[in-house]
Structure formats: C-alpha cells, structure tokens
Amino acid sequence: MNSVGRKIAYLGPPGTYSEQAAEQWNNVDELLPLESIPAVARSVENGEAFQGVLPIENSIEGGVTFTLDLLIHDSSLAICGEVIVPINHYLMAHKDIDLDEVRTVYSHPQSLGQCRQFLLNNLPQATLVASLSNAKAVEEMLSANPGAAAISSERSAHLYGATILQKNVEDNPSNETRFVILSHEDHEITSNDKTSLCFEFDGDEPGILSESLREFASRNINLVKIESRPNKRRLGRYVFLVDIDGHRKIDKVKQALAALEQKVSMLKIFGSYPKYEM
C-alpha cells in the first residue's frame, strides 16, 4: 500500500502523549486525532485509518484497562508494533498563580495516578477531575474558573496557551508509557520479536495457571509480562494477559501456543511484533 494519504489514528486531541507516540512510530503519514480508545480501533477496522496507536501500559500505574479490555473483548485487530514514550507531566493554569490558589486539577486518570504523591503534598485542597485525555484536560481547565489547573504535556501547554506552573510533577522520574500499534495484521518475523496473547480457564484448581505457563518455560521461552483482568462474566474469573519473547511463527512458540490451547477455554493471540529499542 502506498504511504501517501495514509492516516495513523491516535487518542487525541493534539498534544497528548499518544500523539507523541504516533509521531515516534510514523512521522511520514497523516495523524488522525480521535476522541476515545474505541474510536481509534473503529477507525482502523472500517478503513478510515491505516493503523491506530493506543496506550497499553505505564511503568507506574500498570496496564491501561480500556486498551486491555478492547483487545480481549471488542476488537479483532492485531498488534504490529510498540513504542515507549518517556512521560514528563507539567502542571499548568490560565496564568501564573500560587499552588495554594488551585482549587481543581484536570487530567487523565492515569496521569492523576502518576502524580498522586505530588498532588497530596502540594495540592491537598484541590478537587481532582478525570478527563478523556491530557490534552482535553487543558481545554477543560481553560474553560473553567481561574482556580483551575491541569496536568498535561509541555506541548499541550504551548498548543493551548496555558501557563506552566511547575514541570516534571510525576512521582517517578523513570515514568514511561508503552503504546501498541494496531493494524489488520501483525508484523513479520525479525531478529528481536515478542508475542502478546490472552487466555482464560473454565474452572479454577490448584496449579492450573503455573501448569499452563510451564508450556513456555519448558521450551526456554521467556515470559516478559503477565497480568489479569476480570472476564466480565463472573466474579472471581479472570483473563490472563501474557507477553513472551519470540514470534508466533517460530517453531517453539507455535508448539507452546498449541499446547497451551489444549489447557485453556479461550486463547487469543493479539500479535507478534518487534520489541521497541530505545
């Protein structure tokens, strides 16, 4: 497919960390800002966009549940790549004000979590308001009263004309977010791949998870990450999300996945793709 005219969808509006990730992934094609994570996926599914960029994991707050649930339950798109973006949060307002004058702070829920200690220590009087994105938080703040502030990116402050009150307000200086790129197909084999998948069980018995994961360990396949999400059908039942080293098409990974499929009630492979290299 010719690259001219292709669109890369991301969670907008302009100024989000998702936009930064999209630019890191593809600085040639047109970027398409959309209002929600499901909207990004839909744009790829219906052909409006060539690929979509979504946040999936933060080094402080963990998995981005909206993206994880979309992959598990609501989309047949594949992961074809990943990008890791260093996160530097900025506190901003209409104009330069003292921190004790701030009454409301707008930001994305993940960002509020990543700045939890800063907010407790410096803005204990402020009401925290969740926004759909960090850039949207700046728009909402600028439409609110002068006692409002927002936590967002430096680019958002410049784009929307906000005044930066304090920079690097994230609790951990090593704050990073991993973004995945969704497409209709995953990536071909390279020399440094990983595979993302999920599975669940019908029952619950001792050792059922460890026995299933042994299919990877017995073949010397490294388990990069494991986490769980409720399966949304019954309390106490979970879907396990796993990242492993290796492409799904290489023999030992194919064998492990085939063996795992015999032990679980559901197996969904999100895709194989090159590991991001800093």
- For the chain, list the domains and their CATH numbers: 7-86+175-183 (3.40.190.10), 90-167 (3.40.190.10), 193-274 (3.30.70.260)
Alpha carbons 181 and 20: distance in angstroms, whole number: 13
pTM for the whole structure: 0.83
| pLDDT value of position 3 | 43
| pLDDT value of position 1 | 40
The tokens describing 257, both together, are: 């996945």
Residue owning tokens 């759909």: 132
| pLDDT value of position 5 | 63
Cα separation of the two ends of the chain: 28
Residue 86 near residue 126 (C-beta atoms within 8 A): no
Alpha carbons 222 and 263: distance in angstroms, whole number: 19
Report, as ranges of residue numbers, the positions in the chain whose pLDDT lies below 50: 1-4
